[in-house]
Chain A
């Protein structure tokens, strides 16, 4: 039933987050949320969809939790406490539980892969089976990963709270890194993850409207995602940006992202990445602006990938020789781990006029790339030279 699916998407994190705070039990919270959805699936088609589906689900889930605690023979005093935590006007004081949930799922004392899985399961409400499929592991392996993370939260007493003051500034990038990883996994071919990353980023912008990097990250996702229907042709082969059918771009997503960027100050790496993505989403690509943004980004985030992209941008803005010069300035040992570095060198070399060497470099890059559309695209470039 569509209404239940929508209520699931919209209410899951709120129900789970609140029940975790009230009961302190992650598994119980999830089970009760799941039970409430099952009840809805049974009743809504018969009795009609309630006016406020989220509140309805919350009440059913909360009652399940109370029933369970009663069966587990908790003393009457504590039962009263649970019953008294019905949502009320003082909920504002408690703040949004979903933010607590997100920060706890993304706690740095958990392994990155555990943070990602736990966030998807607990905050986004994605089924363990779907998460397992997206990360190419068995469902039982994914269940173990999530269970282990929940056990550590309980055993090591990872606090259920949003960090304050300096700690918030230290911890927020870790949360954004989880979303970024999710989105990139989605971008590389698992559409479920890209969609969930955008949904989570949207939720985070609602919960933390004052954090510019959160808004910038959402804008970045929307811009990258806007090209999802144009990135591959009918045969599934990669279509480079300059050859994409711009009619297939998602104009609404681009407009939303640009609107976000207009009112968001530039205060971190995601703001710069989003500006670059915005340049790529324009009808005429302004490579000089892109090169300038990459100069900025390389200052705050001097990673190999950023330096590589900076060389590409300068190559298009000021000619292939400029790009090759920048490429040569990057340390060799850093680039050896990136097959893309060879591909960049090949592209710049081709445009500088040395076809023979460029073809050889494209073949080298292809040899270091796993079989798939990327590899075929590289070989095709080599053949055309």
Chain B
């Protein structure tokens, strides 16, 4: 969106940005990490349906893509050190809370992304991390 500014990042903008409402009209991309959690919501009757969530957000153009991921036991961690490729069986950190899926959102701002995340069933059964695309 915004170009890197050599002095202090003030003022230099992509031609598409408007000054009065700098963000209006341009969507912002967020990576939604869908994670498990040790303390899920106990009242299951409140948990929304995932099919409805996907259908609604696809239709509104807020969800670009997304999927459920295979468990961490299927993960392979890759590093190259000194020209040598080193593989580790499993995720790069061993934690109880693991990433079980992801979605890419395209929203007007963080408030809209929060509303989308809060309507996802895994916000109840787990937790969701919203990470904006970096501004490069």
Contact = CB atoms under 8 A, between A and B. Distances in A.
B19 A158 contact: no
Contacts of B50: none
A107 B114 CA distance: 12
A109 B112 CA distance: 12
B19 A159 contact: no
Contact of B15 (A28, A75, A156): A75
A52 B11 CA distance: 28
State which size class the interface on A falls in. 20 to 34
Contact of A159 (B7, B23, B130): B23
B111 A159 contact: yes
Contacts of B12: 72-74
A157 B17 contact: no
Given A27-B10, A157-B109, A159-B109, A22 B28 contact: no
Question: Most B CB atoms within 10 A — which of A24, A31, A74?
Answer: A24
B109 A78 contact: no
Interface of chain B: mostly helix, strand, loop or mixed:
loop
Given A72-B5, A154-B135, A85 B109 contact: no
A294 to B, nearest CB: 31
B135 A155 contact: yes
20 contacts: A23-B11, A24-B13, A25-B11, A27-B10, A28-B11, A31-B10, A69-B11, A72-B5, A72-B10, A74-B13, A81-B18, A155-B135, A156-B110, A156-B130, A156-B132, A157-B28, A157-B110, A158-B111, A159-B109, A167-B111
Contacts of B5: 72
Contacts, number: 68
B32 to A, nearest CB: 13
B109 A158 contact: yes
A159 B110 contact: yes
Question: Most B CB atoms within 10 A — which of A25, A28, A31, A75?
Answer: A25
A155 B135 CA distance: 7
| Closest 3 A/B residue pairs (Cβ) | A24-B22, A72-B11, A28-B10
B20 interface: yes
B79 interface: no
A23 B19 contact: yes
B74 interface: no
Interface string A1-35: 00000000000000000000111110110010000
B110 A85 contact: no
B132 A24 contact: no
Contact of A27 (B8, B21, B108, B132): B8
Interface string A127-142: 0000000000000000
Given A156-B110, A159-B109, A81 B132 contact: no
Given A81-B20, A155-B134, A68 B110 contact: no
A24 B18 CA distance: 9
A78 B19 contact: yes
Interface of B: 5, 7-13, 15, 17-23, 28, 108-111, 114, 130, 132, 134-135
Nearest to B8: A27
A260 interface: no
B19 A157 contact: no
Contacts of A255: none
A317 interface: no
A109 B22 contact: no
Contacts of A159: 23, 108-111
A82 interface: yes
A74 B2 CA distance: 12
Interface in A149-167: 154-159, 163, 167
B78 to A, nearest CB: 28
Given A25-B11, A31-B10, 7 more contacts: A21-B20, A24-B22, A24-B23, A75-B15, A85-B19, A85-B20, A159-B110
B107 to A, nearest CB: 8
Contacts of B20: 21-22, 81, 85
B74 to A, nearest CB: 31
B19 A24 contact: yes
Contacts of B110: 107, 109, 156-159
Question: Most A CB atoms within 10 A — which of B11, B12, B109, B114?
Answer: B11
Nearest to B134: A155
Contacts of A21: 20-21
A28 B130 CA distance: 27
A69 B22 CA distance: 14
Contact of B11 (A74, A85, A109, A156): A74
A82 B10 CA distance: 14
Contacts of A85: 19-20
